[in-house]
């Protein structure tokens, strides 16, 4: 049986690195469980770009570099092609001004395309799109935000 894929969002990556983030402790508690062999962690190149940018400008270059060097290496990165980008753009346009970014929409389209049901994230938008949100599935309450 192939490993169960779990999508990792910028909000979770950021919470892992920033001790001041309100989701840092839940992220740290769940992360070791996600590193088990029966789980495949995945994200997109859009999330990689967003995460590096957010880390660099909020915490600093060293934090962004540490993330690239030490954390990103355990995650499979899906590279978004033109077709998935167009689907995500259409979703973004259809959702209008409902606080979804294009990166969010790329995540949702990718998860549907890859049949990924769970996201390690601290954004309830994933729930609104029909996905299971971690750390809730790991026995942790869903933090607001």
* 99 in a structural domain: yes
Contact 7, 116 (CB under 8 A): yes
Each residue's pLDDT tens digit, 13-36: 999 999 999 999 999 999 999 998
Predicted confidence at residue 18, as pLDDT, reads 95
Predicted confidence at residue 2, as pLDDT, reads 73
Tell me the two tokens of residue 51: 């995460």
* 144 in a structural domain: no
Predicted confidence at residue 1, as pLDDT, reads 67
Rounded mean pLDDT of the chain? Answer: 90
Higher-confidence residue: 103 or 143? 103
* 111 in a structural domain: yes
> Which CATH number goes with the domain that contains 125?
3.40.50.1010
Each residue's pLDDT tens digit, 66-105: 999 999 999 999 999 999 999 999 999 998 877 889 999 9
Does position 142 have pLDDT exceeding 70, yes or no?
no
Predicted confidence at residue 37, as pLDDT, reads 77
- How many structural domains comprise the chain? 1
pLDDT more than 70, % of the chain: 93
Confidence category of residue 141, pLDDT binned at 50, 70, 90: very low
* 143 in a structural domain: no
Tell me the two tokens of residue 37: 């062999």
């Amino acid at each position: 049986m192939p490993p169960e894929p779990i999508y990792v969002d910028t909000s979770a990556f950021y919470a892992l690195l920033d001790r001041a983030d309100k989701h840092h402790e839940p992220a740290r508690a769940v992360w070791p469980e996600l590193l088990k062999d029966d789980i495949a962690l995945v994200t997109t190149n859009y999330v990689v770009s967003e995460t590096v940018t957010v880390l660099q400008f909020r915490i600093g270059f060293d934090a962004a570099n540490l993330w690239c060097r030490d954390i990103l290496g355990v995650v499979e990165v899906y590279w978004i092609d033109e077709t998935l980008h167009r689907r995500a753009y259409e979703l973004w346009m259809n959702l209008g001004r409902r606080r979804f970014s294009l990166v969010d929409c790329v995540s949702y389209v990718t998860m549907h395309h890859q049949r990924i049901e769970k996201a390690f994230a601290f954004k309830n938008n994933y729930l609104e799109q029909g996905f299971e949100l971690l750390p809730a599935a790991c026995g942790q309450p869903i933090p607001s935000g």
